[in-house]
Amino acid sequence: MKLFIKKPIAQLMAASKETEKTLKRTLGVGSLIALGVGAIIGAGIFVRTAAAAGEHAGPAVTISFLIAASGCALAGLCYAEFASMIPIAGSAYTYSYATMGEFIAWIIGWDLVLEYALGAATVAIGWSQYFNEFLNTFFHVHIPFVWSHAPWETNISQTGLYINEAHGHGIVNLPAIFIVLMLTLLLIRGTAESAIVNNVIVVVKVAIVLMIITLGWQFINPANHTPYLIPANAGIVKTSTGVINYADTFNHGWLGVLRGASVVFFAFIGFDAVSTAAQEAKNPQKDMPKGILISLAFCTLLYILFSHVLTGLAPYKDFLIKGKEASVTYAITQFMPGYGWLASLVTIAILAGFSSVILVMLLGQTRVFYTMSIDGLIPPVFSKLHPKHRTPYKSQWLFFVFVSIFAGFIPDTIVGDMVSIGTLFAFVLVSLGILILRRTDPDLVRPFKTPLYWLVCPLGALICLFMIASEGIGNWARLIVWLLIGFIVFFGYSIKHSKVRHGIVEPAEDPINPKFVE
């Protein structure tokens, strides 16, 4: 069945040439770095940091960030080599197609839905909580619990926005769906316009993060950092989505830190989203590695400093009950007297920051499916471009519906964990891909080379595998179910329409006026 047939590098390079029927090259190195920072600094720093500290790592979440960053840095070097060598849309999917064959490429392309689409859903859920904080702070109104939370979530709040509401379950998270709709419309309008909006947002939210680190440092309570690792006898905490028992294996000690690393790993997925925009970069061979590595290094430093300050301001258990998704605002309001204005400013900056993350995730997802559609592995509707804006507008609408289902009806803890395991799986394959390609095609032109690839590639894959191993059985089960669905699509549709499999070198369709040729 030729499951592992590869797409020739020469064919990939030919597809990178810009025409009126391809994506438009509008992004410079500054915009690529901003895309990376825009995707990285968001839910990871403002929501997942508190979640990882409260549930698994405590103050040692800073070490969790170091572990996650080391895996990302090693994978990032591999991404940078691939992005400079194969400068087209598709990210890890495209790289796998060239190195490990069509079946592996399909698995990773299907898996990237967990990274980008569900990543957008996770951040949209966090955006909803902060939007409610914004309405309450500036207009003294809020959206009721039932219309801003998923059906699985219950109102057990003893403080905050929902104290006067009857206890019960959520129905749908309407604000989360709203922000996905607005950014979908922006992306349909054009990549250059979206990048301009993202650049402005990035400047604002980085400035706010630096203000929190600088001003919050003087309010750090050393007692909150002692003990640094969560002890096994830390007790039990009841939350709106269940019960956290710190005696559980991955909820205390060093294993808790490792589990925390897999949680905050979600915070780093933005850097590889840069690679999905390779076909829209003006000078991808030089600019893609810079966009990937500079954004990753810059954000890692901010994460470590920010998490140290946040866990120093408030006890880690507070993040599970009182702070929840809005833990940053809570910590500033309760433990930084005289800086209430900063909490208000943070709410605005976080809303903007979350918006840029969702924007980049939605862009990345549609670009991966654009390339898969061009290859014939999924229906041509995903590569149909807008006649004027040359964006995959039908794909954007389809993913709006898909992302909205998860953002509106599933809690962020479940969605976020699915994102982490999907992303880690992608990083493992990218790291192995470089190792394979260095052996099979040593003479390929590589504008950027991964240093010490014989060490970096296997070590990056190994660290990511360790983080995957710390994921709960529930996450593994969801990943397996998702992959099984993907296998049904692959064997039912993809192998019948694969252009590489059938020897179709030139595109068999006009993305603007598709007439698919079998």
Q: How do the domains of the chain map onto residue ranges?
A: 23-497
3-class secondary structure per residue, 161-176: CCCCCCCCECCCEHHH
**Rounded Cα–Cα distance for residues 425 and 471 (Å):** 12
CB 382 within 8 A of CB 367: no
- Is the Cβ–Cβ distance between 85 and 70 less than 8 Å? no
Radius of gyration of the chain (CA): 22
pLDDT (mean) for 220-224? 94
Which range (14-28, 290-304, 434-448) has the least confidence? Answer: 14-28
243: three-class secondary structure by DSSP: strand
Residue 243: the pLDDT is 81
Dihedral in degrees, nearest 10, Cα atoms 49, 51, 54, 57: -60
What is residue 474's predicted lDDT score, i.e. its pLDDT? 75
State the Cα–Cα distance between residues 418 and 475, nearest whole angstrom: 6
Nearest to 323 by CA among 312, 333, 309: 333
Query: Measuring CA to CA, how many Å separate 3 from each of 6, 86, 239, 463?
Result: 9, 22, 46, 28
pLDDT of residue 90: 62
E strand or H helix at 245, and its extent? Answer: strand 242-245
CB 72 within 8 A of CB 306: no
pLDDT recorded at residue 324: 65
pLDDT, mean of residues 301-320: 91
Quote the tokens at residue 22.
Answer: 């391809």
Give 516's pLDDT tier (boundaries 50, 70, 90): very low
Give residue 308's pLDDT. 95
* CA distances to 41, 159, 294, 374 from 500, in Å: 38, 59, 35, 10
**Is residue 174 predicted with pLDDT exceeding 90?**
yes
| Phi-psi sector, 165: left (phi>0), alpha (psi -120 to 50), beta | beta
Quick check: 300 pLDDT over 80?
Answer: yes
How far is 463 from 457, CA to CA, in rounded Å? 10
C-alpha–C-alpha distance, residues 59 and 38, integer Å: 26
Say if residue 494's pLDDT is above 70: yes
* Contact indicator for 93, 112 with CB cutoff of 8 Å: yes
Q: Which residues contact 442 (CB under 8 A, 6 or more apart)?
A: none
Contact status, residue 23 vs residue 279, Cβ threshold 8 Å: yes
Length of the chain: 518
Over residues 181-197, the pLDDT tens digits come to: 999 998 888 766 777 77
233, two tokens = 């006898």
For residue 239, give the H/E element and its range.
Answer: strand 236-239
Contact predicate 37/295, CB 8 Å:
yes
Q: Give the CA angle between residues 294, 296, 300 to the nearest 5°.
A: 120
Is 12's pLDDT higher than 60? Answer: yes
pLDDT of the residue at 413: 65
Both tokens of residue 92? Answer: 């890890």
pLDDT range class, residue 512, cuts 50, 70, 90: very low
pLDDT at residue 41 is higher than 70:
yes
For residues 437 and 453, give the distance between their C-alpha atoms in angstroms, rounded to a whole number: 11
Backbone torsion region of residue 178, taken as left when φ is above 0, otherwise alpha when ψ lies between -120 and 50, otherwise beta = alpha
High-pLDDT (> 90) share of the chain, %: 19
Burial class, 181, CB count within 10 angstroms (exposed 0-12 / middle 13-18 / buried 19+): middle
Does residue 3 surpass a pLDDT of 80? yes
**Average pLDDT taken over every residue of the chain:** 81
The pLDDT value given to residue 517: 32
Q: Give the per-residue pLDDT at 306.
A: 93
pLDDT at 157 over 80: no
Closest CA to 116 of 152, 92, 82: 92
Of 116-125, 166-175, 256-265, give the lowest mean pLDDT range: 166-175
Instruction: Report how far residue 350's alpha carbon sits from residue 341's, in angstroms, rounded to the nearest whole number.
Output: 14
Q: What is the mean pLDDT of residues 209-238?
A: 90
Fold held by 23-497? Amino acid/polyamine transporter I (1.20.1740)
Please name the residue that has the structure tokens 């990753």: 296
Binning pLDDT at 50, 70 and 90, where does residue 36 land? confident
Question: How far is the C-alpha of 414 from the C-alpha of 210, rounded, in Å?
Answer: 30
**Dist CA 517 CA 376 (whole Å):** 10
pLDDT in tens, 393-435: 899 999 999 999 988 888 766 666 667 777 788 888 888 989 9
Tens digits of per-residue pLDDT, 237-258?
877 667 888 888 888 889 989 8
Question: Which token pair is 476?
Answer: 């593994």
- Tens-digit pLDDT profile for residues 64-116: 999 888 888 888 888 888 877 776 666 778 888 888 889 988 988 888 887 78
pLDDT attached to residue 248: 86
98 contact partners, CB below 8 Å, separation of at least 6: 6, 7, 8, 9, 12, 86, 433, 437
pLDDT at position 511, please?
A: 39
Q: Who's near 243: CB < 8 A, 6+ residues apart? A: 236, 237
